[in-house]
Structure 1
């Protein structure tokens, strides 16, 4: 959801500091000026446009889902208090989960009403404070433990729900509960079915391809690893998504055993016939260049558009088994 599509109608903030022992709830909506509105809209756009976003549905017995079914603009503040209390109970019982301010927003996108829940984890940093005294002001530096994330930081947990049908978008992070890491935000709090994000799917596919390739070609076959990255880059760039079936056939074209092993790995995640379609530039960035490091410490970065161009770069295997990288037709060199 883009910032320009969002119209914030009301907002409320609740303090969820587990050290306090109880949530500090607000009983009325807060003032939202234009700068603060842009700050909030920026965070909403950042997580809803992220490849880490998950599209979910509430479980039939989800208490949060039931609360949101009854949510209206008139009872928005009361609804926000109920949600804040539920999340605080989880935070208080599980100290590994960071304390935070919860900002809840009643907002419109066209004719559709939405509720946004932004968990603003506290950051620790230094700031100044002025202490008046008999001899005048004394400026000091103190450690502030309840600073909110900046506009450019990503939120660990947030959700946006369309109230007409309870379509749910969320981002979340795993934390340790009872000795095991889990997706507490979706499983414990929202009680919703949360499939893997596009970024998680892409990570699973690329890791599985690398594992199968390493088993048969070893860790040191740089040429194979570069070729695999090139195949994935082309699929993402030319097709707009990663067709798992096509990657399997192109990377392991003459090795049916390797294809079968890759399919077996991906079947565990129900990804063997999937088309993974990430759209964030940040997600795709690592596939746009080949990063090479020699055993002598020389680092080389090659844009993927130049990787297959023999007029720009060439990899030569020498008689003694060493490799030479020939960079051609350079008009200008710049030092950084």
Structure 2
């Protein structure tokens, strides 16, 4: 569970042209408030759609954040500076949506060691310090309806009241936020394109933070599996086996290191086929430049479990099969064979029980 050090909420009403900047932090002793902030920040921190970035040299935000971390500026003052920047910027946008700004400073407990970790790795994980993050999120307010109960002359009257002050629930996606690891100053963020002053831009990386933009974990994993599939198909290999093999390798690397090297995954998939491996490297090098994929991609273990632990295939006969990615290289459980007529046989072995789903 995240430990929230500080949290504050500022409000923007673009329809009336009013802003309401809080002069007090949220009361984190209030369980409902604390839970909302924790769950919202956890969703931002662990999203597979987070793009990654590093502060540009001379970033004004990085300088302000540094002052705060060194105790030379207060949390409320920094949050108001951020709120003022968003107020001035977002009010010029063609998409004026009333919103609140949540600014937080929180700790994430050390990750548990991955499966198969040795005693030294387990001890290091146990002794590790929590990771500290500084984060901000734009929470768009939504229209909703409430019921009220009145007593008029002894008669109960239920009425509907519209409110425009409802914030997204912690399970709903939000599209504009940034989470900064204060130790490494690395950034995870998500943003949407906005038209401001007639020009389309992204307010998080281009404006507020002034940071680079690299592909998200989801984009990197999907790019690797797409190239593996294309190259395998080009050389007449079984795409189900090769793609699931690539997913299994990603899951293994992330389980151990919480990161993976996309180019190395493809190389290992085709390590026994030098010509195919060279083709993969050629395709990957070109794609990595075009799609800004870093040499090493940070991935949370939970993200890898959702995206790479299993592989789903659908046959042209309408049969869906989902199986653990690691089984692709273990014919004990599943095997793919080509018939003489070019059709594919899928053999599933060692089944003790079948459940209907």
Query: Displacement of 1:21 after TM fit?
Result: 2.0
Q: Distance in 2 between matches of 1:250 and 1:48?
A: 30
Task: Mark the CA change 1:103 to 1:304 in structure 2 (over 3 Å): closer, same or farther.
Answer: closer
Task: Mark the CA change 1:267 to 1:212 in structure 2 (over 3 Å): closer, same or farther.
Answer: farther
Q: Give me the TM-score of the superposition, normalised by structure 1.
A: 0.77
Matched, 1:127 2:146: yes
Contact 1:55 1:169 in 2 (8 A): yes
Contact 1:69 1:166 in 2 (8 A): no
Contact 1:12 1:77 in 2 (8 A): yes
Aligned to 2:91, the other structure's residue is in SS state helix
Query: Displacement of 1:329 after TM fit?
Result: 3.2
Which residue of structure 2 aligns with residue 262 of structure 1?
A: 284
Matched, 1:41 2:41: no
Which residue of structure 2 aligns with residue 19 of structure 1?
A: 15
Contact 1:174 1:181 in 2 (8 A): no
Task: Mark the CA change 1:78 to 1:288 in structure 2 (over 3 Å): closer, same or farther.
Answer: closer
Q: Distance in 2 between matches of 1:12 and 1:188?
A: 22
Contact 2:228 2:280 in 1 (8 A): no
Structure 2 regions of 5+ residues with no counterpart?
Answer: 109-128
Higher mean displacement: 29-38 or 111-120: 111-120
Which residue of structure 2 aligns with residue 289 of structure 1?
A: 310
Matched, 1:86 2:85: yes
Query: Displacement of 1:205 after TM fit?
Result: 3.4
Query: Displacement of 1:173 after TM fit?
Result: 1.9
What is the correspondence of 1:123-162 to structure 2 with a 5 Å cutoff? 123-134=142-153, 136-160=155-179
Among candidates 48, 55, 71, match of residue 57 of structure 1: 55
Q: Distance in 2 between matches of 1:114 and 1:234?
A: 29
Which residue of structure 2 aligns with residue 229 of structure 1?
A: 244
Structure 1 regions of 5+ residues with no counterpart?
Answer: none
Contact 1:316 1:324 in 2 (8 A): yes
Contact 1:278 1:284 in 2 (8 A): no
Task: Mark the CA change 1:289 to 1:117 in structure 2 (over 3 Å): closer, same or farther.
Answer: closer
Show CA shifts across 1:68-98 (max 9, x none).
Answer: 4554597543432332121022222214374
Query: Displacement of 1:67 after TM fit?
Result: 4.4
What is the Cα-based RMSD across aligned positions, in Å? 3.7
Higher mean displacement: 115-124 or 73-82: 73-82
Task: Mark the CA change 1:143 to 1:322 in structure 2 (over 3 Å): closer, same or farther.
Answer: farther
Matched, 1:172 2:190: yes
Q: Distance in 1 between matches of 2:219 and 2:81?
A: 31
Which residue of structure 2 aligns with residue 325 of structure 1?
A: 346
Aligned to 1:192, the other structure's residue is in SS state coil
Equivalent residue pairs, number: 325
